[in-house]
Each structure stands twice: as structure tokens, then as C-alpha cells.
Amino acid sequence: MTREEAIKKIIFAMDVKGFDEIEMWAERLSGHVGMFKVGKQLFTSCGPEAVRTVQKAGGEVFLDLKYHDIPNTVAMATLEAAHLGVKLSNLHALGGYEMMTTTMETLDKKFSSSERPKVLAVTILTSSNEETLRGVGIDIPVKEMVVKLAKLAKSAGIDGVVASPQEIGLIREACGDDFLIVTPGIRPAFAATDDQKRIMTPAEAVKSGCDYMVIGRPIAAHPDPVAAAKLIVDEIVAG
């Protein structure tokens, strides 16, 4: 794999609060990572301007708002994400088949497939375990549920899923090669594990078949973040 291909796989988790920080990270890391993830906290504090600020600095955006609502509302919210020009957007597969097909049909009516964002489904959050699922009336093992939801998402026309590193193989097997897998929980050989428990190195994750990796603190908390991003690229290329 070339360095350019490896860079494209890295999504920097922009877990920050204000515009100054967004600008600083986007300017610093543009060209060293492939995309910037704007999540609920940043979007709630700074709004769509957070996305535009990244874009003005030359960065592409993964809008991680994990929509889960009635079909029309999720479709319209995803359409707004597309109008913002984000490259990746997401929703909860637990919202169901109709919510997902309505969203994809709505997008496809307004955008060509190369112009619209890729839409990812979140299956079961990695913070949930068997007990969490039982508590909401789901009585099947987490891994089974993850695969079931990934297949449902694929059948509804969704482009891929967000998954833990441990789920990459299972999902690849169940959904085939033409399905994006984006994974957080990545820790390069040089970095601390922080609060992440089930981790993989970037090279292992790529070998397991992931398309993109969401990486935050290993880059943000490093004394030289650009050097950290380059080290991650080195690890992917060497792996």
C-alpha cells in the first residue's frame, strides 16, 4: 500500500470544543490524515460551521451524528449532511429497514452516487454488552446482533458500518468486500491505550479488512501530532 492510500484510511477524531481548535487541527493535519470526524459534542457546540471550518482548511468531514428517528426525519437530516458536503454520515441500524431505505432513496433522488456522502450504519455500540441488550429486550448475543444489523443495513442499500476491530472479520464475511468498514479502538504500537479496551494496531486493522480507522488521542495527545500521523502511516505501509 502507498503512503497516499494509507493516509486516506485515517480519520482524525476531532474531539474538541471551539472554532480555534477546529481550525488549528484541520490546518495542522490536512494532508496527513484523510478525514476529520465531527461528532455530537462539537456539532452541538459549534453547529454546521464546524464542518465548514474543516472544509475551509482543506479537510474532508465524517459527520458522526448517528441519526435514529422516524424514516422521514433521518432521510431529511442525511440530506442536509449531503448539502454540507460531508464525505461520510451515519445512522443507527436499529432504526430499521424502512428508515435506512427511505434515507438512501431520498439521497439518490438528489445526488449522483459519486457526489453524495457514503452512509454508514452503527450496529451495536461497543459500550453495550449482553446485559445492556437484555435490558432493552434483545435476547441474542452481541456478535450475532452486530452481524444481523450489518446484513440488514446492506440489504437496505447502506454503504457500510462502524464496527469495533474485533467485528471486522465477521462483518467482512457476512457482507462481502463491497461494504465499508470504519473502525475506532485503534492504537498504534507507540501509543497509550487510554480507556480503549479491545484495541488493534493500524496494521492489524487494515489486515483484518477495515477501510477507514477513527483515531483521536494517539495523534492529538502526542507531543508532535504530525509526526504521530506519519508514524501511523509508516505502520500501515509496513504492515
196 near ligand C5P (CB under 6 A): yes
Question: What region, left, alpha or beta, does residue 85 occupy, with left being phi > 0 and alpha being psi -120 to 50 degrees?
Answer: left
CB of 127 to ligand C5P, least distance (A): 7
| Nearest to ligand C5P of 106, 164 (CB atom) | 164
CB of 14 to ligand C5P, least distance (A): 8
Using CB under 6 A as the binding rule, the residues of this chain from 22 to 51 that contact ligand C5P are 39
Stretch of 50-58, 73-81, 111-119, 212-220 lying at the interface with ligand C5P (CB under 6 A)? 212-220
Helix axis angle, 19-29 to 225-238, nearest 10°: 40
217 near ligand C5P (CB under 6 A): yes
Instruction: Give SS3 for 139.
Output: coil
Residue 160 has phi, psi (to 5 degrees) of 175, -170
Among positions 117, 160, 184, 225, the unique one binding ligand C5P when judged by CB under 6 A: 184
Among positions 16, 200, 214, 229, the unique one binding ligand C5P when judged by CB under 6 A: 214
216 near ligand C5P (CB under 6 A): yes
Q: Looking at the annotation, which residues are catalytic? A: 66
